[in-house]
Structure 1
Amino acid sequence: MAGIFVGELLTLSMMAFALGMDAFSVGLGMGMIKLRKQQIFHIGLIIGLFHVIMPLVGMATGRFLSGALGVLAIYIGGALLLMLGIQMMLASFKQSEERLISPEGPGLLIFAIGVSLDSFSVGLSLGIYGSKPIVTIALFGLFSMVLTWVGLLVGKKVQSWLGSYSEALGGAILIGFGLKLLLPI
């Protein structure tokens, strides 16, 4: 019995790590915007929270909607990331500090939803499988929160090295990630 739980825990941890790597990648791009440590903390916390909420909602939704919303969620997430990346690229060429979407307030919610939509799809699948919801969402939230923080901090370091070009690079990363979701190869 304990071996089955350890095996399931290992499987769920690998899934949580994979979903968290999405958050890391996007955090890396977003971290190239000048962010304060407090903003980095809040961004990681919110993304971790959404990586708890989205799979939980997905698990609750279950088998009925799995096929239709699974693919739709990926396309919505890709479009949001593409939009954020384009906005970052455009902002890097302007002198203005004002952004259409910023990683705070409503912009942070849009960012968090975009990053965590794939965990909704995974939640749909896990709901069918009958996975333990508490363990699953705890691992998803923890991995994505920590990996977002790591991505944001690495992005912040790269930003200090690249200066004004870092925001364009961050936008390019988000555009690439959005295209990867929209145009699976």
Structure 2
Amino acid sequence: MDLISSLLIALGLSMDAFAVSVTGGATMSHDRLRGALAAAIFFGGFQAFMPVIGWLGGIGFSDLASSYDHWIAFALLALIGGKMIFESMTVEPSERSADLLDLRLLTLLAIATSIDALAVGVTFAFLDVSILVPVAIIGTVTFALSFLGVFIGSRFVGLLDNRVEVAGGLILIGIGLKILLDHLFF
């Protein structure tokens, strides 16, 4: 997988963690630096770890699906992207509030926002992609965007709303379409 595709996947996957961080930053009245670090570590860590789990699980099935892998990758990324767009339209921003200093809540949010990364890991296995570089990029991008998201949220409360998650969903759908078209026509 090339660097640009890895970066775009990382951006797409990090958008829900970024949106939660923005919301958390908007609701934090104190200790934003600690909240930003906690969000970055948890979201970046889980976003990097979950694709590895998906990749390990998907390796056993990759030989069975090698002639359909591009369709599977497209379907998974399109479903994940579509889910992100749908949820951004149906869940009110006020319902996304998060106390980024509550470690139990932060763990649950990190798991919830990284489920998509698990499915992407399965896709990597089907496409026979080396996992180390994409995982490092996904974790780093999510870390940085989650950290920044807390501070952006404190400055621009209500301005971004669901646009970030819509953009992330569209990016993932676009990557899935690129994979499909590359295998069908090139």
Fold-level match, TM-score > 0.5? yes
In the alignment, what sits opposite 2:8?
14
8 Å CA contact 1:25–1:151 kept in 2: the answer is yes
- TM-fit CA distance, 1:85: 5.1
Query: Is the counterpart of residue 137 in structure 1 residue 135 in structure 2?
Result: yes
What is the aligned partner in structure 2 of residue 52 from structure 1?
Answer: 48
Q: Kindly, what percent of the aligned residue pairs are identical?
A: 20
Indicate if the aligned counterparts of 1:62 and 1:127 stay in contact, CA closer than 8 A: yes
Q: In the aligned structure 2, how far is the partner of 1:157 from the partner of 1:143?
A: 21
| Distance (Å, rounded) in 2 between the aligned partners of 1:149 and 1:31 | 10
Q: Please state how far the C-alpha of 1:48 moved relative to its aligned partner.
A: 0.3
Check conservation: 2:15, 2:165, Cα contact below 8 A.
no
The alpha carbon displacement at 1:20 in A equals 2.1
1:9 Cα deviation after fit: 2.1
C-alpha RMSD of the superposition: 3.8
Cα deviation, residue 10, structure 1: 2.4
**Quick one: which of 154, 157, 161 aligns to 2:155?**
157
Kept in 2: contact 1:19–1:140 (CA 8 A): yes
Pairing 1:99-178 to 2, within 5 Å after superposition = 102-103=99-100, 104-158=102-156, 166=157, 169=158, 173=161
User: For 1:90-119, what per-residue CA distance to the aligned partner results, in whole angstroms no more than 9, with x for missing partners?
Assistant: xxxxxxxxxxx6322110011111211111
- Aligned-partner Cα distance in 1 for 2:92–2:57: 28
| Contact 1:26/1:173 (<8 A) preserved | no
CA deviation vs aligned residue, 1:53-88 (integer Å, no higher than 9, x gap):
111111111064997xx569x869x88xx7895645
One-letter amino acid matched to 2:34 = Q
Say how many residue pairs are matched: 153
TM score, norm. by length of structure 1: 0.64
Q: Which runs of structure 2 are paired with 1:32-47 in the superposition (5 Å)?
A: 32-34=26-28, 35-36=30-31, 37-47=33-43
Q: Against the structure 1 CA distance between its residues 56 and 21, is the aligned structure 2 distance closer, same or farther, given a 3 Å change threshold?
A: same
